[in-house]
Amino acid sequence: MKWFVPGRLEVLGKHTDYVGGRSLLAAVDRGITIELTDSDEPGVVASSTAVEGEQKLTPGVDPQLPKGHWANYVQAVVDRLHLNFGDLLPARIVIDSDLPLASGMSSSSALVVAVSLALIDQNGFRKREEWKANVHDDIDLAGYMATMENGLTFGTLEGLRGVGTFGGSEDHTAMLCCHPGQLTEFTFCPIVEGDSVDLPEDLSFVVAVSGVLAEKTGDALEHYNSLSLNARELAELWNDATGSEHATVADALSSDEDALEGLRAVAAHDERLTKRLNAFITESEVAIPRAVEALRAGDLEAFGKAADLSHRNADEVLGNQIPETNALQALARELGATASAGFGAGFGGSVWALVPTAEAEEFGDRWLAAYLAEYPQWEDTASIVVTRPGGPARRL
């Protein structure tokens, strides 16, 4: 059997999902393809066309691979499905991808989703009572697959160590629930699908891969996880101060018209928490609503300003941009892009620019050349991808 799972484009929504906020998302028209065949060997044997060799993975057995290795994501899926549903049938998996690695289009989550879908189908887990009790639709499925990475429990499906990231379900939701030709707004914790807006056919996204790998390891992993932990701490402080039991900052904000003022007071003693709160408010409550309203109205200038605000907020307040991604965003606007912003986990990765489809390839060439004139050290790893919103994950 074969499954295709697209990468995702986070148009806006930097570190908002696990806080219960908004994201504006698209599935892209490239991704990961998984081919699964039954095997006579016990366990799951996985190989990738991008690298030589293969990995034999056994539930509950640490493969002793470096952090960030692609097979660790496969292992996390194998371990979690085994914990929740019991023994897995032996399988051989071949992984192919046309997503740039560590580019911000979430090749790692696409791998998790693809392996999960293939193994779930092979083993008939959708027919099991414990599946039916917890996973009712693709929204639930996205939430469950997110917990394979962050290690949390989903309903009655017990959690297990994930892959070391404390992220949310934005990536998995985009891959399973977005629509061809459209950008879709979601809110999270729980996942709720909002409005979708058409992206005019005469516009495309040009993605510039900076060449700086957005690896979730080392200092980058620590900084990435600190953004999640700071958000949790804010919610806990609010609950302590008010006697409430809100799970996220977004829950707290929606509980009372004076909640924002109260949250600012709770965070006032700590600059770190104040910045985290401000970053969330600007992205989820200001930039994204403005962007969606602008797209509905066909006001591309206003959409560009909302994207500028999002990128500036990520750099100056959230603190997850680097000189290369800032340069790419500024260059895109200087070269005439309708809108541009960095996206993904940050600390490397990519920047998108919205441009006329007919000019996309030529724009990408000029954009990359201008970038490499400033950062020639990334000539071997920087690249350009032209894409439009594609369909969700599907069995081939």
Backbone angles phi, psi at 184, to 5 degrees: -125, 135
pLDDT at residue 344, as a whole number: 76
Which among 106, 341, 323, 6 is positioned nearest to 205, based on CA atoms? 341
Q: Are residues 185 and 207 in the same domain?
A: no
Q: Is the pLDDT of residue 102 over 70?
A: no
Q: Looking at 20-24, 129-133, 220-224, 352-356, which range is the least confident one?
A: 220-224
pLDDT digits (tens, 9 = 90+) for 269-325: 999 999 999 999 999 999 999 999 999 999 999 999 999 999 999 999 999 999 999
Q: Which domain holds residue 301?
A: 199-387
User: Rounded mean pLDDT of 152-177?
Assistant: 86
Residue 93: inside a domain, yes or no? Answer: yes
Which domain-ending residue is among 160, 181, 197?
A: 197
The average confidence (pLDDT) of the chain is 93
pLDDT at residue 343 greater than cutoff 80: yes
Buried b / exposed e along 48-74 (16+ C-beta atoms within 10 A):
beeeeeebebebeeeeeeeebebbbbb
Same domain, 90 and 7: yes
Is 0.95 surpassed by the pTM of this model? Answer: no
243/364 same-domain check: yes
Q: Span 16-29, mean pLDDT? A: 94
172 and 91 belong to one structural domain: yes
- Do residues 177 and 142 lie in contact, with contact meaning Cβ atoms separated by under 8 Å? yes
79 shares its domain with 159:
yes
Contacts of 333 (CB under 8 A, 6+ apart): 304, 308, 340
Looking at the structure, do residues 135 and 232 belong to the same domain, yes or no? no
Same domain, 222 and 255: yes
CATH number at residue 189: 3.30.230.10
In a domain, residue 396? The reply is no
Residues 254 and 320 in one domain: yes
Q: Is residue 394 part of a domain?
A: no
Domain boundary among 171, 197, 223: 197
Give the pLDDT band of residue 237 (cuts 50, 70, 90): very high
| 255 and 167 share one domain | no
Domain boundary among 138, 168, 197: 197
